[in-house]
Amino acid sequence: MGKAFLLTSIRIAIRVIQDFMQGQLTLRAMSLVYTTLLSLVPLLALSFSMLKAFGIHNQLEPLLLKFLAPLGEKGSELAIQIVQFVENIGVGVLGSLGLLLLVYTVVSLIQKVEASLNFIWHVNSVRSLSQRLSGYLSVVMIGPLLVVTALGITASMMNTGLVQQIVAIEPFGSLVIGLTKLVPYMLVIGAFSATYILIPHTNVKWRSALLGGLIAGVLWETVGWGFASFIVGSAKYEAVYSGFAIVILFLFWLYLNWLVLLLGASIAFYHQNPAYQVSGAIHKPLGNRAKELLALEILRLIGKAYQDGGRQWTLENLLEDISLPMESVNEVLQKLLSRKLLVNAGDEPGYFVPGRDLLTISIKEVLDVVRDDAEGDSVSDAYADSSVINILLELNSLTDEHLKNKTIKDLISPKDV
């Protein structure tokens, strides 16, 4: 057990380091820094409006001070300036166009975060516009409220008479104080974990998300401590960049934060998908025969479950049963979904069911979908001799004749029915 855990940890660490060295994570982190600069004030303005409605908007500044604490005294000044700027924004008097622009900049930031996490999770499909808007605004509105409420409950509990009596008794007092000090760290870990569960357009297991959130939270605190130590000795940077030094340091701190979030997501992905832990287990395009087998097997599994009232097949279930890379399975799935041979049912991301009666889905139709006959028709056959063309036409004719009456229903043997 210990050796397996150690081996898994080493494999995940190696793959995360490889991803970092390839540069995609750093590139996306830098892209998120740029989007954050455009979205930071609108994001805080919407959060401020929500907190103000509950009378707890004064908690915004302490949270921002905590985030910018590694920047030292300059960070405190920057936090105060940002809060003052946010307070001067009258969301109610912006007008329809101004409010739309405000919401758009916030949505664009979360959309960029989702795209980065989907890239890490090898997800190509995206949510519908309505789902993105509702989900994004829920995160913006409810997220800060939950964090502030959790901090408020913790502070209120510490001020109750019962807790004060317990604190006066050792060793319970030291234990309670220690747990109280852990609350901010637990909130950071919870925020990372919730991001990994809610934002990617795929099912993320809570254990994997929690592991990624735990490591990201510890890494975030460590990076913050290291960055604060760096700030202490950064007098030379202030001498060179003068008033721009705080801006440059702020950008670098944002970059480190986004990079930590993406690294945690990468850890969660490799923990949930052991097949990707081996360096050689990268996605290789499947040949036509492999795609045909995969398409028919997917329809057989889903068709049998639908017919028997069995398990609901999700993408995650299919990956566990078929043991192929996500890209390969998802590529074939998208083709079947695009031709309505399968449909997505249930809540997003949902599960798959046949698009119509199994007796009406012919095997020939499935093979044609996978082979992309529409694309093949666009290729000229003028370069081929007529004898070659006739052989292929004869082969296709024989295949059509043999399969014309065979459907997905025939793939479900009588003993399984």
Tell me which range, 36-50, 57-71, 122-136, 298-312, is most confidently predicted by mean pLDDT.
298-312
**For residues 140-166, average pLDDT:** 56
User: Exposure pattern of 370-404 as b/e (b: 16+ CB <10 Å)?
Assistant: beeeeeeeeeeeeeeeeeeeeeeeeeeeeeeeebe
Say whether pLDDT at 226 is over 90: no
For residue 58, give Cα distances in angstroms to 28, 63, 144, 349, 373: 33, 10, 12, 37, 62
Say whether pLDDT at 267 is over 80: yes
Nearest by Cα to 26 from 361, 266, 355: 266
Residue-wise pLDDT for 128-145, tens only, equals 666 666 666 666 666 665
Q: Look at residue 264 and give its three-state secondary structure.
A: helix
Mean pLDDT of the chain: 75
Give the predicted TM-score (pTM) of the model: 0.69
The pLDDT assigned to 90 comes to: 57
Helices 326-338, 288-308: crossing angle, 10 deg rounding: 70
Q: Do 100 and 220 fall within a single domain?
A: yes
Task: Please tell me the distance from the alpha carbon of residue 70 to that of residue 231, in angstroms, as a whole number.
Answer: 8
Residue 298 lies in a domain: yes
Q: Do 298 and 188 fall within a single domain?
A: no
Give the domain-ending residue among 243, 277, 311.
277
Q: Are 71 and 251 in contact (CB under 8 A)?
A: no
Structure tokens, 176: 């309670």
Q: Do 336 and 270 fall within a single domain?
A: no
Q: Strands of 214-371 (E only): list them.
A: 342-345, 351-354
The pLDDT assigned to 178 comes to: 60
**Among 227-236, 308-317, 401-410, which is the least confidently predicted range?**
227-236
Share of the chain residues as helix, strand and coil, in percent rounded to the nearest 5: 80, 5, 20
Q: Residue 263: which pLDDT band, with cuts at 50, 70 and 90?
A: very high
Phi, psi torsion values for 66, nearest 5 degrees: -65, -40
Say whether pLDDT at 190 is over 50: yes
Q: Do 130 and 238 fall within a single domain?
A: yes
Conformation bin of residue 243: beta by default, left when phi > 0, alpha when psi is -120 to 50: alpha
Residue 282 lies in a domain: no
Q: Look at residue 137 and give its three-state secondary structure.
A: helix
User: Exposure pattern of 326-362 as b/e (b: 16+ CB <10 Å)?
Assistant: bebbbbbbebbbeeebbebeeeebebbbbbeebeebb
List, in order, residues 6 or more apart from 304 with CB less than 8 Å away: 310, 412, 416
Q: Do 250 and 306 fall within a single domain?
A: no
Residue 392 lies in a domain: yes
Residue-wise pLDDT for 373-415, tens only, equals 444 444 455 566 777 777 877 777 777 777 777 888 888 765 4
Range of the domain at 324: 288-416
Task: Please tell me the distance from the alpha carbon of residue 39 to that of residue 103, in angstroms, as a whole number.
Answer: 9
Q: Do 272 and 360 fall within a single domain?
A: no
The pLDDT assigned to 243 comes to: 60
Q: Do 210 and 296 fall within a single domain?
A: no
Nearest by Cα to 166 from 149, 183, 179: 179
Task: Please tell me the distance from the alpha carbon of residue 121 to that of residue 116, in angstroms, as a whole number.
Answer: 9
Residue 379 lies in a domain: yes
Q: Do 330 and 238 fall within a single domain?
A: no
